[in-house]
């Protein structure tokens, strides 16, 4: 059994080295999962945008990816993603652990429970249309505190709260959209955090995400133009710290889960 899954965003490809590619067929299509060692732990790694970074955010097969991890027995997922700062107090390069999200995507297939597909979670079937809860915690508190503790131990600055807003993309936002998101309570904006986080909850898999602030969002900080290259450049400068954080946090995640995520399906399991 592989306990931990890592879903890497733009720039996080080094975990592929020395790992074995497994093509995993799921009811939702193929997932490309790399199995390897990270520290002392066997992990399943998915580069979200493909090995050659040729899958845009709206084309990522989120359902196949999360279901494949479920099929491998993964109980905990740590994801990473690049984000723009809506909150002007955030500095470029900051690592932030969102505690909540607002999903503004428009065209994504965002549930496993479509009333037709039989879903199997840890050997048990779930049928029909069910609605999982995103409370009391949107993201797994046990993974989030392992990441926060790892950052303390390593002396890597991390902000352990923030509201992540997910947009459909593929373009960056307009200044008016960012203003609206700020009024809604958003701190950071990205294109890949949803439906990924909710799909993990739908299979009772713990999920938390590390976001790296790569730029100020449209209209914040008086910037003229935002480019994808800028996003990649800032991300790559923080990659080493992100890797260290991942490596240090994994052993700090308790083997036995005590969080509410594990019980997300308790009332629906037959
Ligand atoms: N907007 C949306 N997605 C992003 C951004 C942004 O400003 N930066 C990195 N991913």
Domains (ranges, CATH) in the chain? 80-268 (3.40.50.1580)
Give me the pLDDT at residue 208, please: 98
pLDDT of residue 12: 64
Q: What is the 3-state secondary structure (H, E, C) of the chain?
A: CCCEEEEECCCCCHHHCCCEEEEEEECCEEEEEEEEEECCEEEEEEECCCCCCCCCHHHCCHHHHHHHHHHHCCCEEEEEEEEEECCCCCCCCCEECCCEEEEECCCCCCCCCCCCCCEEECCEEECCCCCCCCCCCCCCHHHHHHHHHHHHHHCCCEECCCEEEEECCCCCCCHHHHHHHHHHCCCEEECCCCCHHHHHHHCCCEEEEEEEEEEECCCCCCCCCCCHHHHHHHHHHHHHHHHHHHHHHHHHCCCCCCCHHHHCCCCCCC
Its pTM surpasses 0.75: yes
Ligand 1 atom showing the smallest separation from residue 226 Cα? 7
Q: Whose CA is nearest to atom 7 of ligand 1?
A: 84
Ligand 1: nearest atom to the Cα of 169: 2
Is the dihedral angle over the CA atoms 17, 237, 66, 228 positive or is it negative?
negative
pLDDT at 105 (0 to 100):
98
Residues of the chain with pLDDT under 70: 10-16, 222-224, 270
pLDDT of residue 13: 62
- What pLDDT does residue 59 have? 95
Q: What is the pLDDT of residues 252-264, one digit of tens each?
A: 999 999 999 999 9
Ligand 1 pocket at CB < 6 A:
82-84, 167, 172-173, 189-191, 214-215, 217, 226, 231
Please tell me the predicted confidence (pLDDT) of residue 175: 95
């Amino acid at each position: 059994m592989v306990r931990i899954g890592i879903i890497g965003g733009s720039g996080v490809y080094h975990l592929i080295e020395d790992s074995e590619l497994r093509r995993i067929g799921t009811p939702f299509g193929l997932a490309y999962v790399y199995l390897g060692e990270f520290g002392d732990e066997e992990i399943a790694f998915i580069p979200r945008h493909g090995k050659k970074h040729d899958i845009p955010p709206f084309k990522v097969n989120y359902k196949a990816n999360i279901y494949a991890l479920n099929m491998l027995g993964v109980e905990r997922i740590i994801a990473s993603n690049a984000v723009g700062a809506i909150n002007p107090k955030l500095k470029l390069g900051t690592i932030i652990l969102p505690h909540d999200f607002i999903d503004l995507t428009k065209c994504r297939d965002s549930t496993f429970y479509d009333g037709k597909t039989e879903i199997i979670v840890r050997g048990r079937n779930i049928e029909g249309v069910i609605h999982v809860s995103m409370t009391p915690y949107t993201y797994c508190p046990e993974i989030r505190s392992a990441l926060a503790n790892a950052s303390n131990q390593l002396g890597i600055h991390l902000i352990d709260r923030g509201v992540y807003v997910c947009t459909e993309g593929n373009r960056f936002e307009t200044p008016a959209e960012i203003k609206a998101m700020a009024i809604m309570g958003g701190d950071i904006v990205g294109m890949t955090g949803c439906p990924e986080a909710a799909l993990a909850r739908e299979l009772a898999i713990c999920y938390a995400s590390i976001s790296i602030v790569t730029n100020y969002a449209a209209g914040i900080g008086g910037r003229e133009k935002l480019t994808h290259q800028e996003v990649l450049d800032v991300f790559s400068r923080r990659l080493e710290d992100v890797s260290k954080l991942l490596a240090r946090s994994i052993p700090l995640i308790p083997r036995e889960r005590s969080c509410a995520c594990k019980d997300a399906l308790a009332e629906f399991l037959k």
